[in-house]
Structure 1
Amino acid sequence: MSPETEHLLRVEAPQVLGALVRRFGRFDLAEDAVQEALLAASRDWPADGVPREPRAWLIRVGYRRMVDLLRSEQARRLREERIGAAEAALSGPGRLAPPAPETDDSLTLLLLCCHPALNPASQAALTLRAVGGLTTAEIAHAYGTTEATMGTRIGRAKQRLARAGARFTPPAEEDLEQRLAAVTQVLYLVFNEGYTATSGESLARTDLSGEAIRLTRMLRELRPDDGEAAGLLALMLLTEARRPARTGPGDELVTLDEQDRGLWDRDLIREGTALLDAAWDPREAGPYRLQAAVAAVHAAAPSPELTDWTRIAVLYLWLERLAPSAPVRLARVVAVARAYGAERGLALLADLDRRHGLERDPLTRQRHPAVRAHLLETTGDTAAAAAAYRRAAALAVNPVEERYLLDRARRLG
């Protein structure tokens, strides 16, 4: 299947799902029917060609599969009546399928997949399948698990939605902002998993990071006045721009200071910077805009030595006050050390350890010894640095990072 056809299926998937859910009111079965329609298209279109109206084709196949699924349940009379109505629509003269929907259901689907009844992992998996159009096998591969395991996770997520009474309608106004926050968090998690994979032998999974960017572009189009949606997209683009320089010819990790900045994607940097500039308002800047601002400082620096680390330290202090977390605090340690010296960075790290337990926090437990090792190495305490590098390597979840940390330890003896 060509990349153009694959992209078309990804784009049409949420619209087809929306049409089926509106008609039948069953998200769980409709989502399965859409997946089968997508699989049918992947089999038939390469040989027969893309139909003139691909969405109508997918809806027709999905409708037929929905009829089969509903019939097999032998449900209540109301459901039987729906089956009869659907069969009449499918078999009547000139009525091969209902008209394709004119409305864009993408945002409603994103909000439904990020229902508060689901945990973040289930929200992410369901979003990738229902809105992204990925198959269960593709999602399982991206997360380094089996298709059966991922299928179980998605199935349980759909059951939880049913038990919670989730409906295919936009949430009430008072619930909307919370649900949008969940959507951006899920997209952020998907991108981060793609940028530094927690499974597999490669540092990154471009299928996941690319899908996160595509879905965030969609969110940005649906919410053009949402500064944080723009900030999230800017952050992804500015971060993804550095990906070509993150690994060497042997798939070894290349740190930011050692990267060939000529390999950075300047088109992504220009787009991300323009997005951030248009959305920037210091009175309203949220976590994603602040993180994008940090990424923009890195992107603007022609060399590591000319990076404005003082500005980055200020941005992380701002971010810590707005949305305190262990990763943000640890990032501020790095920025302070680069701006004011490793000794000051170590002092700040010790203070934050005492007050917030960064060394024990699951979000920074692995990166903490790596940061400490680098600061100790900078001060000349090579023995302590080597030991800290080895501790970090033992905790690493990505083999590329583990090899890098062990190599640093070996160099120090």
Structure 2
Amino acid sequence: MDEAVLRGVVPQVIAVLVRRGADFAAAEDAVQDALVEALRSWPDDPPRDPKGWLVTVAWRRFLDVVRSDAARQRREVAVDGEPAPGPTETVDDTLRVFFHCAHPALTPASAVALTLRAVAGLTTRQIAAAYLVPEATMAQRISRAKRTVSTESFDRPGDLATVRRVLYLVFNEGYTGDVDLAAEAIRLTRQLAALAQDPETDGLLALMLLHHARRPARTRVDGSLVPLAEQDRSLWDSALITEGVAVLQAALAQDRRGELQLQAAVAALHADARTAEETDWVQIVQWYDELLALTDSPVVRLNRAVAVGEADGARAGLAALAEVDPALPRHRAAAAYLHEKAGDLDLAARLYAEAAELALDVAERTHLTKQAARLHQQSAG
């Protein structure tokens, strides 16, 4: 049994149940029950029509719950009875389910959790493990989210930008727990891109593919970070890079550039360089200029300053960095890098140490501490 295929039809099955009269929360619960049954029975007796099987079992489960609740008698009259035998509904409402799970009324954390349940088909236990929280905590979060969206019309137009933000949040969570959230986010974004036919969604997919391609080289065996310039590029996934560049080129060709497409363009230039020294920093600065004009983002301004330091020299980079708010996360790390590049090792070592104290991520803190120690040793020698 291919679990990816199984999870791929989950939002379609939820949508079928909602169309038949179930509210979103009840439909999602019923589909989860059907998934459990599928995982139990399919290995020995796989159905010819996975979606139809899930619809049938989930609908029966929903009716059982309705019938057992006396307070819902009137509703039971409206939804009772199974549809006549025949093909499963062919309307694909997956995009509506995406929109529903990324509803603006939800917090980002709740939207991510609900998307992983209702669109990705993950269990509460899997989601809790991925986010390193107790299963009961995650169950409460999902329940609250379902109650919130169940009061909203399923036919209400959704916000594609909100869905993209939720999927990018999933992607950036990385690889904790027994579910690879980065890979899952890519799978869902492929699905969304096929449905949405939107260049910025394609830009998100390209960005994910290009970042994910570098994953095998990003950390050492001991878990420590490997800076981009020091990564073994032979470990990069060339197939993902090729696909990411192709998706990006098709998106850019539509001449409706957005933030995610421009970020992907920067990532593509890094991926295209066979060595760190061959990186086209001048063109990267140009992409950052366009991105800055579009977003006026302090983070983009910070990244641009580092790129300027590579393209035009450390002093030019430091001049660009002087225009960035020093309270911004990673400002000290960027300053340390540029001062080291400029030859001011003592100041760079002090800034690396300060950046390490401010770092929230353990791996990043360890890396910055090692950088400070390395420069102290060089100065002492």
TM-score computed with the length of structure 2 as normaliser: 0.92
Q: Aligned residue for 1:384?
A: 347
2:152 matched residue in structure 1 = 166
Structure 2 matches for 1:307-318, cutoff 5 A? Answer: 307-318=279-290
Distance in 2 (CA, whole Å) between partners of 1:222 and 1:283 is 20
The alignment status of 1:223 with 2:196, answered yes or no, reads: yes
1:36: which partner in 2? 33
Summarize deviations over 1:23-79 as a string: whole Å, max 9, x none. 123001111111111112122223x23222222222222112212332344334431
Q: Give per-residue Cα distances to partners, 1:319-339, cap 9 Å, x unaligned.
A: 111012232121111111111
Once the two structures are TM-superposed, the CA of residue 137 in structure 1 deviates from its matched residue by 1.3
CA offsets, 1:229-255, max 9 Å, x none?
Answer: 111111111111111111123222111
1:61-76 → structure 2 map (5 Å cutoff):
61-76=57-72
Residue 361 of structure 2: which of 394, 398, 406 is its match? 398
> Equivalent residue for 1:305?
277
Partner residue, 2:12: 15
Matching residue of 1:50: 46
Give the conservation status (yes or no) of the 8 Å contact 1:25–1:168.
no
What is the deviation of 1:206? 7.0
Amino acid at match of 2:152: A
Q: 1:78 aligns with which of 66, 74, 77?
A: 74
* Structure 2 CA distance for aligned equivalents of residues 206 and 151 of structure 1: 17
Change (3 A) 1:100 1:250: same
Q: 1:114: Cα distance to partner?
A: 1.5
Partner of 1:129: 117
| Rounded Cα–Cα distance in structure 2 between residues aligned with 1:98 and 1:398 | 54
Equivalent in the alignment of 1:356 = none
| Structure 2: runs of 5+ lacking an equivalent | 377-381
Q: Tell me by how many angstroms 1:281 deviates.
A: 4.0
Q: Deviations over 1:275-328 (max 9, x none)?
A: 111221484211111111111111111111111111111111211110122321
Match in the other structure for 2:168: 188
Q: Identify the range of structure 1 (307-316 vs 367-376) with the bigger mean alpha-carbon deviation.
A: 367-376
- AA partner of residue 65 (structure 2): L
Question: 1:408 aligned to 355, 358, 371, which one?
Answer: 371
Moved more, 116-125 or 306-315: 116-125
SS in 1 for 2:9: helix
Amino acid at match of 2:75: R
1:7-406, aligned counterparts within 5 Å? 7-46=4-43, 48-82=44-78, 85-86=80-81, 89=82, 99-162=87-150, 165-171=151-157, 176=158, 179-194=159-174, 207-224=180-197, 226-281=198-253, 283-353=255-325, 359-360=326-327, 364-365=328-329, 367-406=330-369
Change in CA separation of 1:64 and 1:206 when aligned onto 2, cut-off 3 Å: closer
Question: Contact (CA 8 Å) 1:15, 1:101: kept in 2 or not?
Answer: no
The answer to whether the 8 Å contact 1:74/1:80 transfers is: no
CA RMSD, Structure 1 to Structure 2 (Å): 2.1
Output the CA distance in 2 between the equivalents of 1:372 and 1:70: 62
Give distance in 2, aligned partners of 1:170 and 1:350: 46
Measured in 2, the distance between the counterparts of 1:229 and 1:149 equals 31
Q: Select between 4-13 and 305-314 the one with higher mean Cα deviation.
A: 4-13
Which SS does the other structure have where 1:50 is aligned?
Answer: coil
Q: Conserved in 2, the CA contact under 8 Å of 1:377 and 1:385?
A: yes
Distance 1:62-1:282 versus aligned 2 partners, 3 A rule = closer
Q: How far has the Cα of 1:209 moved from its partner? A: 0.7
For 2:323, what is the secondary structure of its paired residue?
helix
| Residue segments in structure 1 that go unaligned for 5+ positions in a row | 354-358
C-alpha contact 1:220 1:229 (8 A) present in aligned 2: yes
Cα deviation, 1:57-108, whole Å, max 9, x if unaligned, reads: 222221122123323443344313135x23xx28xxxx6x774221112111
- Give the TM-score taking structure 1 as reference length: 0.85
CA contact (8 A) 1:117 1:160 kept: yes
Judge conservation of contact 1:230–1:279 (CA < 8 Å) in 2. Answer: yes
Does the 8 A contact of 2:130 with 2:179 survive in 1?
no
What's the CA shift for 1:390? 2.4
Instruction: State the alpha-carbon separation in 2 of the partners of residues 27 and 139 from structure 1.
Output: 19
Query: How much has 1:376 moved relative to structure 2?
Result: 2.0
Q: Distance in 1 between matches of 2:266 and 2:42?
A: 44
Identity of aligned residues (%): 51
Cα contact 2:52–2:88 (8 A) shared by 1: yes
Q: Secondary structure at the residue paired with 1:352?
A: coil
Q: Deviations over 1:100-156 (max 9, x none)?
A: 221112111001111111122221111111111111111111122221111111111
Residue type of the alignment partner of 1:169: D
Aligned residues: 376
